[in-house]
Amino acid sequence: MRVRMTVNGRGVTEDIEPRLLLVHLLRDRLGLTGTHIGCETSYCGACTVLVDGLAVKSCAMLALQAEGADLLTIEGLATDELHPLQKSFSVCHALQCGFCTPGMILSSVALLAHNADPTDGEIRRAIDGNLCRCTGYHNIVRAVEVAAAEMRAETSQLFGSMTPPITAGGDSVTTTAEGG
């Protein structure tokens, strides 16, 4: 059967067996081996990728189920520079062997996409499907907090540097919390 999807911004078309798991399509057909296989029983989270923005265990999904979807793997996360989460995991020593790291980071990307300032508990809940046998999780949680703070600062810098819109009379518009 033929399946089409977008992976890391690139259109992909593959002829596959209906039983092919998404994780095997990513690793074996597309060479995206940053998506790890730990248990292959949807327990460890090492195979986590984003499917239409949701963190998904790719060993628990058929490749055919991703038909038409937009996927992000760890290889597609960095742009010109590393993603803030990639930097913070390094700076905060949030990894040792690194086996869980791609899945941890992608689960965290999904969290920060809808919660820019998560609490310790919210971070732990977001990554509770991702097992780490090395770190004890403390530095991982810290890394997510650090990346979240950096991303909030980047956002406020971006809006702070935007020129206020000009009115028809030539005056710039200033808004207040009251909307005035």
In the complex, the residues that contact ligand FES under the rule CB under 6 A are 37-40, 42-47, 57, 59, 95-100, 132-135
Q: How far is the CB of 121 from ligand FES (least distance, A)?
A: 20
Classify residue 63 as left (phi > 0), alpha (psi -120 to 50) or beta.
alpha
Question: Residue with structure tokens 């730990």?
Answer: 38
> What six digits make up the tokens of 42?
């949807």
Closest to ligand FES by CB, 73 or 135:
135
Cβ 48 to ligand FES shortest distance, Å: 7
Nearer to ligand FES, 22 or 151 (CB): 22
Nearer to ligand FES, 7 or 143 (CB): 143
Q: How far is the CB of 172 from ligand FES (least distance, A)?
A: 50
Q: Residue 108: what residue type?
A: S
Between the alpha carbon of residue 62 and those of residues 3, 13, 59, 66, 135, the distances in Å are 11, 15, 8, 7, 31
Q: How far is the CB of 129 from ligand FES (least distance, A)?
A: 8
Instruction: Collapse the DSSP code of 13 into the 3-class scheme (helix H, G, I; strand E, B; otherwise coil) and give the result.
Output: strand
